[in-house]
Structure 1
Amino acid sequence: MSQPTLIQYQQESGIAILTLNRPEKRNAMSDAMRAELVAILESVRQDRGIRALVLTGSGKGFCAGGDIAGMKVRMEADPATVGFNGWERQQGVHYAASLLLNLPVPTIAAVNGAAAGLGADLALSCDFVIAAKPASFTWAYIARGLVPDGGGMYFLPRRVGLPRAKDLIFSGRKVDADEALALGIADQCCEADELLAQALDMADRMSRGSRTATALTKSILNRSYEMTEHQVFAEGSKAQGICYTSQEHRASVQAFLDRAKEAAK
């Protein structure tokens, strides 16, 4: 009997929907699940027919973080191999987060339940976060003797500011959906039965424009905190030069000119 897929994938009107699918484990991220996620994200990145992506979880949880079974294996491993194996595994974690962050289309995390540790980092890797009322967020790495390793030390301060990010990471406290909205962790909050519809609506609204211009703009915005204004202007100039040559821009200008010509008659 074949094993169920760990990432369910479907498309709806050009919008990719990825569903983490280990409901019995609250969608904790195993190595096998991460490998499936990376493969799908690489496919999405290359598919010019996809204009947005929604990431959600099956069952009651969004993602409970790292897989406990994997942690147990690490505890029982030969101490001489733990350090390098851990470093190697981290490269896979960071590659998955980077893929999601840098997809050339708008991405929306539809957080249906608990997003803990790596799960919370995964949500913040997306451009936008919509939290259902049952959702919660927690960064409890330090309570387990670890540092946030899924991008939380990068994403969270950009969402809530440095002091508040330290508060959430040092304390590891749980943040419910309403507080997540107030703090800026989430961009919208809704009832559970409205979550996917709201996420798809946002995905549609954020992806109606030029895919080329959206991809180039996103690539610059994602790096803008680390750049000077001169660098942002320079990157923008190069991106605009590419946009001038795109079929989307040419078609849009031609449509505008045609409407102006008709109106002048």
Structure 2
Amino acid sequence: MADYQFIALQTHGGVATLTLNRPDKRNAISDAMRTELIHALEAVAQDRAIRALVLTGAGKGFCAGGDIAGMQRRMQAPAGDVAFNGWARQQRVHHAVSLLYHMPKPTIAAVNGAAAGLGADTALSCDFIVASEQATFTWSYIARGLIPDGGGMYFLPRRVSLARAKELIYSGRKVAAEEAFALGIADRLAPAGQELDAAQRWAAELARGSATALALSKSILDQSSELSAGQVFAMGSQAQGICYTSTEHRDSVAAFLAQAARGREQAR
């Protein structure tokens, strides 16, 4: 794995753990951190030995959102450059979010503390969220005169309903772990300090299945809310055709048939 300054990436037993590593800044995402995050996510996606990904934050917080220094630079830019600079930044933000959301393997956010703004959106980009009992979530963009720009307007309504997402985004209020679990923002709760271990164990369980079938299932499920039943069925038919040719399917069928033959032989 490459050496990183603002993140850490480790693998064990097929599970990669990516840690946002600016604890002195509550893991706020700077441009430099985002570049490293993009490189790491691309590497994880391409590494077939990695079968699941856990995302967490160093120190007491998960991610405080966007970096304040970046906001200051944006305000200091010439007026004629602000819009284009913002557009260019948004392309990088959305690229990082898309890499995480479309990761062809299970992804779990282990939220160990505060997840605010872009940090909350980043957690939602994962398939699942394991939250520490001390975790909090807030879509606090409204306090800065901004809208959720890290995917929150897409992900949050799909987890908590449109009306509830509007309330959380309009108010920018803080959501504690128990409420986050009740609303469906968090999928599991863990005692403080145990959320990472819980997420890693869950990731290892999810990683046991066919990587081919899982990647294809995820790609269809992530689109299913916007598709008709017929479209989902058609995509499923194509995906199943691929699965029929996969090594995992052939090996599992061969093992099943061999076991059945042994059973018949023993029954004689």
The normalised TM-score by structure 2 is: 0.97
What is the CA-CA distance between 1:196 and the residue it aligns to? 1.4
RMSD: 0.9
What is the CA-CA distance between 1:203 and the residue it aligns to? 0.1
Query: Following the alignment from structure 2 to structure 1, what is the Cα–Cα distance between the partners of residues 18 and 53?
Result: 8
- 2:130 is paired with a residue whose SS is strand
Aligned residue in 1 for 2:203: 203
5+ unaligned residues in a row in structure 2: which ranges?
none
Deviations 1:79-123 (A, max 9, x none): 100000100100000000000000110000000000000000000
Aligned residue in 1 for 2:59: 59
Letter aligned with residue 77 of structure 1:
A
Aligned residue in 2 for 1:28: 28
Deviations 1:140-179 (A, max 9, x none): 1112111100000000000000000000000000001111
Structure 1 outlier segments of 4+, above 6 Å: none
Letter aligned with residue 119 of structure 1:
G
- 1:61 is paired with a residue whose SS is coil
Query: Following the alignment from structure 2 to structure 1, what is the Cα–Cα distance between the partners of residues 4 and 35?
Result: 14
Query: Following the alignment from structure 1 to structure 2, what is the Cα–Cα distance between the partners of residues 70 and 207?
Result: 37
Letter aligned with residue 121 of structure 2:
D
After TM superposition, the structure 1 stretch with the greater mean CA deviation from structure 2, 231-240 or 139-148, is 139-148
Letter aligned with residue 131 of structure 2:
A
Letter aligned with residue 171 of structure 1:
S
After TM superposition, the structure 1 stretch with the greater mean CA deviation from structure 2, 200-209 or 89-98, is 200-209
Aligned residue in 2 for 1:14: 14
Letter aligned with residue 217 of structure 1:
S
Alignment partner of 1:189 is 2:189: yes
Aligned residue in 1 for 2:109: 109
What is the CA-CA distance between 1:193 and the residue it aligns to? 2.2
Alignment partner of 1:87 is 2:87: yes
Query: Following the alignment from structure 1 to structure 2, what is the Cα–Cα distance between the partners of residues 211 and 125?
Result: 20
5+ unaligned residues in a row in structure 1: which ranges?
none
Matched-pair contact (CA < 8 Å) for 2:112–2:193: no
Give me the identity figure in percent: 65
The normalised TM-score by structure 1 is: 0.98
Letter aligned with residue 215 of structure 1:
A
Query: Following the alignment from structure 1 to structure 2, what is the Cα–Cα distance between the partners of residues 41 and 62?
Result: 17
Query: Following the alignment from structure 2 to structure 1, what is the Cα–Cα distance between the partners of residues 90 and 196?
Result: 31
Query: Following the alignment from structure 1 to structure 2, what is the Cα–Cα distance between the partners of residues 247 and 21?
Result: 38
Deviations 1:30-75 (A, max 9, x none): 0000000000000111111000000000001100000000000111
Query: Following the alignment from structure 1 to structure 2, what is the Cα–Cα distance between the partners of residues 11 and 203?
Result: 12
Letter aligned with residue 165 of structure 1:
A
Aligned residue in 2 for 1:232: 232
How many residue pairs end up in the alignment? 263
Alignment partner of 1:122 is 2:118: no
Aligned residue in 1 for 2:76: 76
Matched-pair contact (CA < 8 Å) for 2:131–2:177: yes
